Amino acid sequence: MTRVRRESFAQLWADAVAGTSYVSMGRDELAAHLLGLTDRLIDAAIAPDFDPSVAHEVGADLVAAHFTGTETLGETLALITGRLANLLDGLTDCPELAARIARLAGNIAAGYASALRERTLDEQEAIHRAGLVARMEAERALAASEARLRAMFTQAAVGIGIGDLEGNITEANPTLLRMFGYTLDDFTSLKVSSMVHPEDAASVWQAYEQLICGERDHFRVEKRFHRADGGEIWTHLTVSLVRDETGAPAYQVAVVEDVSERHRLQARLHYQAYHDPLTGLPNRAMVSDRLAQVFARPIGSRRIGLCYLDLDGFKVVNDSLGHDVGDQLLIAVASRLAGCCGRGQLVARMGGDEFVIIVEDSCEEDVISLAEDVLAALAAPIRIGDYELIVTASIGIVERPVAVTTQADLVQAADITLYWAKADGKGRYAIFDRHRNEQEVARFTLSTTMPAAVERNEFFVDYQPLVALADCTLRGVEALVRWRHPTYGVLGPEQFIGLAEETGAIVQLGRWVLAQACEQASRWRADFGDAAPFISVNLAPRQLREPGLVGDVLTILADTRLDPSHLQLELTEQALMGDEAGPVEALAKLYDMGVRIAIDDFGTGYSNLPYLRRLPLHDLKLAGSFAVGLRPALPDLVDERIVATLVNLAHALDLTVTAEGVETIAQLERLRALGCDAGQGFLFAPPCTPAQIDALLRAANPLGGPGTGTRAL
Ligand code: C2E
Ligand code: CA
Ligand code: CA
């Protein structure tokens, strides 16, 4: 019975405290646990010797079992003071039972409270200890990371500097100090603002200001600094802003990489790329860069002048005295040129013995007076070793507003003008002249279009009779080429033969004329037999030097089936006067083949009969100027005597003589009287078309002379 009561009390207790605390016990387990406590309390209450300390332990036990909810103790005390006396009713006769229960309750409360306090203290202690451990850990980690950062700072291969926002340098690592050559104390007494280099771009310090104000977080530049010893270093500089936890600018960190070596290398390569190694002057690349800069800003009325200079006869010095002397001469010239140039003038060597002076913001008088200074500076002999060399130079001057020209035009104009200075006699300057240039351009255009014009058959040949003076009969015809130009109309040979000779186009054109003339001659042969004229074709000096000439003539004769004796080639003395053996050999071969050879325009050149004597020739054509001297209106006895002498000499050499430019009967008669064999001129016939020659041949009349005249045509 007693047991049952105890159990039901424990059950009541369990019901009262269940849910007041978070305890991981089930209902039954809880009841069983509280039954144990119930037993101890009841046993204490009814024991003969009352010991309330048991209740103290029960209170502590509740805390130990985690009955620590705020209501647990209240519920427990209410149950014990309210119900325990009833429960013990009849079990004990102890008179002080009520007092004992009250003391037990008090002790439970005390035990509970002290256990609870104990536990809270323990928990606080644990938290405190954990906090302590965590802090120590963090401090250790912080120290480790700081040590790492410090090591990085002191051992970094790049320079690192730290500065505050007022621009004071506060820290610098050893690399940075080494780079700048300062001690730490010196360095940290510097202001960032004292690190300005005169060559700094404005943008560098602008970026710095923005960084300090927090408008940007970093910037990166390539920048020069002065070292403590006055030297210079080139650096790759990165400056970063460090902010505090609120985001406000706190300080700045500069990372500085020394790139001086790379810069030195670049500078050297740059220098080499833009300078001539021999004279140390700027080179062609520098000139074209400088001009490109000028032409990149063709502002307003800006002008530019160019003196293009070339030494006269430098090749002779080089060839005769050797390249060393040549080099020394170029060096001396370079230094004299440099001595003539002032600010805004750049003198450069373009290569070989060519130099150029660029004059920026020029006026024509300045450039001319510069050219005069240069010529004067070069006039004094240049001493090289044992030699006293006199050099002259030719200078082409171009001076014009930048806006009206291009870089290429300017250089080309200077080049052309230099050529004029040379052609005008060397040792002088020439000034660009647009009109002269236009004429030359027209000539040049003509010369470049010539080969295509041959292909397009724009050329044609007229034939001018060569007449025997004895009976005025047609013996030969001279082939004279003309150009039916699509824009300029018919051009005479004086307008393009010289040009063709210069460009070499004469070779192709001459071959074409020869083929054309031989074909025509062969046709006349077929139509008129022996009455047909031989054909006389002009051969330019250049053609005579062509190695293929003899072969070409052979081929053309074969192709047109013309006998070599029906072909005459006219060439000037000048064509035979050179040093080369080729022309004379070619001439001899042609002569041996049976081709007739005539010397054209005799009397206008060397008139070197003794020399001609050694050449295989048939005919001497006396220049038209002699015929002019034979006019009765202005009889020139000297001319007449010269003609007589020439005719006699020619005959002595077994040559026939043909007089050119016969225009009057009087001339014809004089020439005939002087023994001249043949004549050519307007008196007989002007250059004719093949059809006109056909008509002449069919008429079979003598040409010229009294009674017949040019009416025969
Ligand atoms: P050239 O060989 O002395 O030819 C004669 C030139 O004198 C021709 O001029 C002809 O028209 C001109 N002439 C003829 N009779 C008279 C006259 O009575 N009085 C005057 N004042 N002049 C006369 P063209 O046709 O203008 O030829 C000029 C020159 O061009 C030629 O001079 C010749 O050296 C050259 N030439 C012409 N055709 C050729 C050619 O196919 N090849 C080469 N290499 N030169 C040619
Ligand atoms: Ca001729
Ligand atoms: Ca002639």
**Which residues keep their CB under 5 angstroms from ion ligand 3?**
600-601, 660
Task: Tell me the CA–centroid distance for residue 566 and ligand 2, in Å.
Answer: 16
661 lines ligand 1 (CB under 6 A): yes
Q: How far apart are CA 14 and CA 11, in angstroms?
A: 5
Task: Tell me the CA–centroid distance for residue 31 and ligand 3, in Å.
Answer: 152
Task: Tell me the CA–centroid distance for residue 633 and ligand 1, in Å.
Answer: 25
465 lines ligand 1 (CB under 6 A): no
Whether residue 705 has pLDDT greater than 60: no
Q: In whole angstroms, how far apart are CA 218 and each of 168, 209, 241, 580? A: 18, 11, 6, 77
Question: Which pLDDT value is given to residue 336?
Answer: 96
598 lines ligand 1 (CB under 6 A): no
- Average pLDDT on 497-516 reads 93
Query: 592 phi and psi, to 5 degrees?
Result: -65, -30
Interval 199-222: pLDDT, tens: 888 888 899 999 999 999 999 999
Alpha carbon nearest to ligand 1 atom 22, residue: 661
Q: pLDDT class for 634, splitting at 50, 70, 90?
A: low
> How far is C-alpha 6 from the geometric centre of its chain's CA atoms?
110
Interval 164-174: pLDDT, tens: 999 999 999 99
Task: Tell me the CA–centroid distance for residue 662 and ligand 1, in Å.
Answer: 13
The continuous run of DSSP H or E covering 354 comes out as strand 354-360
Q: Which residues contact 292 (CB under 8 A, 6 or more apart)?
A: 407
Task: Tell me the CA–centroid distance for residue 541 and ligand 1, in Å.
Answer: 15
The single-letter code of the amino acid at 616 is: P
What ligand 1 atom has the least distance to the C-alpha of 501?
44
DSSP 243-293: E-TTS-EEEEEEEEEE-HHHHHHHHHHHHHHHB-TTT--B-HHHHHHHHHH
687 lines ligand 1 (CB under 6 A): yes
pTM greater than 0.75 (yes/no): no
**What mean pLDDT is reported for the chain?**
90
Please name which ligand lies nearest the alpha carbon of 464: 1
Question: Which pLDDT value is given to residue 241?
Answer: 93
Task: Tell me the CA–centroid distance for residue 497 and ligand 2, in Å.
Answer: 12
What ligand 1 atom has the least distance to the C-alpha of 506?
44
Half-sphere exposure of 44 (CA within 13 A, CB side): 25
493 lines ligand 1 (CB under 6 A): yes
Question: Which pLDDT value is given to residue 713?
Answer: 34
Q: What residues are paired with 345 via a beta bridge?
A: 359
704 lines ligand 1 (CB under 6 A): no
Closest alpha carbon to 355 in 307, 323, 314, 414 = 307
Q: 3-state class of 216 per DSSP? A: coil
Question: Which pLDDT value is given to residue 305?
Answer: 96
- Average pLDDT on 278-287 reads 96
513 lines ligand 1 (CB under 6 A): yes
Please check whether residue 548 is in contact with residue 504, taking contact to mean a CB–CB distance below 8 angstroms: no
Q: Which residue in the block uniquely carries the two structure tokens 């042609």?
A: 590
Residue predicted with more confidence, 89 or 71: 71
52 lines ligand 1 (CB under 6 A): no
Alpha carbon nearest to ligand 1 atom 37, residue: 480
Question: Parallel, antiparallel, or unpaired for β 473-485 and 534-538?
Answer: parallel
Alpha carbon nearest to ligand 1 atom 10, residue: 687
Task: Tell me the CA–centroid distance for residue 600 and ligand 2, in Å.
Answer: 5
CB burial of 325-360 (b: ≥16 within 10 Å; e: otherwise) equals: bbebbbbbbbebbbebbeeebbbbbbeebbbbbbbb
Alpha carbon nearest to ligand 1 atom 3, residue: 601
Task: Tell me the CA–centroid distance for residue 662 and ligand 3, in Å.
Answer: 12
Q: Among 459, 494, 497, say which to mutate for ligand 1: greatest number of ligand atoms within 8 Å of CB.
A: 497
Q: pLDDT class for 632, splitting at 50, 70, 90?
A: low
Residue predicted with more confidence, 54 or 521: 521
Question: Which pLDDT value is given to residue 406?
Answer: 92
Q: Among 460, 538, 544, say which to mutate for ligand 1: greatest number of ligand atoms within 8 Å of CB.
A: 538
Q: pLDDT class for 708, splitting at 50, 70, 90?
A: very low
Task: Tell me the CA–centroid distance for residue 542 and ligand 1, in Å.
Answer: 18
